[in-house]
């Protein structure tokens, strides 16, 4: 047990999927895992462990924003021995060619700041995904016929952004989507020598202002979970 995770030793798998929403962790566990067991409910941040095609998998909520994800990812890696961490969540599209329900595979993650800023100090470290996971995620996306895009993410510190000029710069430089966690996940993976990837579903569009309803979000998120699982074990 750790401060934020109540699981006992051996209850967390080496492969962990990380949705921000703990209820999405519950939904994914019951829809994709065999015999899922709730191994954490501290602060309502649910974590479930079961198997997928015989492989042990944990699906654990990470909360919103990089500080929250940093807490859970650190404990999962350092205290429970997680080796593969895949963020599964929603994002906002920033390119005209990216549509609602499309899947974005985050190759890199830009940010204004992350919880790792104090370590890097003056260095502008470039966090990126694990190439092997990314490559396998592309294969998985093709195999299920998903519409996917590979490229850069922008990990923002705020949800209610009042910097349209910054969004314009991100779009101009080819950033595919905006979310709030991937950059720190990639930082931590690099620091601890583990694998990480962000597999995201587009839930809204910053250019067209389209957005999925809450019900549509849930029904559209199956592809990213399948891709995350296939990439982790292929």
Could you give the residue numbers annotated as active site?
204
Give the dihedral of Cα atoms 46, 100, 114, 83; nearest 10 deg. 50
The answer to whether 203 is annotated as binding is: yes
93 within 8 A of 207, measured Cβ to Cβ:
yes
What are 129's two structure tokens?
């995904």
163 labelled as ligand-binding? no
Query: Residue 6, exposed/middle/buried by CB under 10 A (0-12, 13-18, 19+)?
Result: middle
Q: Is 24 annotated as a binding residue?
A: yes
Instruction: Determine if residue 20 is labeled as part of a ligand binding site.
Output: yes
Q: Report the distance separating Cα 53 and Cα 190, nearest Å.
A: 28
Q: Say whether 162 counts as a known binding-site residue.
A: no
* CA-to-CA dists, residue 152 to 110, 111, 123, 208, angstroms: 7, 11, 19, 20
CA 156 to chain centre: 14
**Per the annotation, does 132 bind a ligand?**
no
- Type and span of the H or E element at 195: strand 195-205
181 annotated ligand-binding residue: yes
Residue 89 marked as a ligand binder: yes
- Taking 3-state DSSP, the helix, strand and coil percentages for the chain, each rounded to the nearest 5, stand at 35, 30, 35
Is 34 marked as binding a ligand? no
What is the rounded CA–CA span in Å between residue 86 and residue 97? 24
CA dist., res. 166 & res. 147, Å (int): 27
Q: Which residues are annotated as a binding site?
A: 4, 20, 24, 43, 87-90, 179-181, 203-204
Q: Which residues are annotated as a binding site for phosphate?
A: 20, 24, 43, 87-90
Q: Which residues are annotated as a binding site for a purine D-ribonucleoside?
A: 4, 179-181, 203-204
């Amino acid at each position: 047990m750790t401060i934020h995770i109540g699981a006992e030793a051996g209850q967390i798998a080496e492969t962990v999927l990380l949705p921000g929403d703990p209820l999405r962790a519950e939904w994914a566990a019951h829809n994709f895992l065999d015999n899922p067991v709730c191994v954490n409910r501290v602060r309502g941040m649910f974590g479930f462990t079961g198997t997928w095609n015989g492989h042990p998998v944990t699906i654990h909520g990470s909360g919103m924003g990089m500080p929250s994800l940093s807490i859970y990812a650190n404990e999962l890696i350092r205290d429970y021995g997680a080796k593969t961490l895949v963020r599964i969540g929603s994002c906002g599209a920033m390119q005209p060619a990216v549509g609602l329900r499309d899947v974005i595979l985050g190759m890199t993650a830009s940010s204004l700041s992350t919880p790792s800023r104090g370590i890097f100090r003056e260095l502008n470290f470039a966090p990126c995904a694990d190439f092997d996971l990314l490559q396998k995620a592309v294969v998985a996306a093709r195999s299920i016929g998903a519409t996917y895009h590979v490229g850069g993410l922008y990990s923002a510190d705020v949800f209610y952004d009042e910097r349209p000029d910054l969004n314009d710069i991100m779009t101009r430089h080819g950033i595919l989507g905006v979310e709030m966690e991937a950059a720190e996940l990639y930082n931590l993976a690099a620091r601890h020598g583990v694998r990480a990837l962000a597999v995201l579903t587009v839930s809204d569009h910053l250019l067209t202002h389209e957005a999925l309803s809450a019900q549509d979000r849930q029904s559209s998120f199956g592809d990213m979970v399948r891709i995350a699982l296939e990439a982790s074990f292929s």
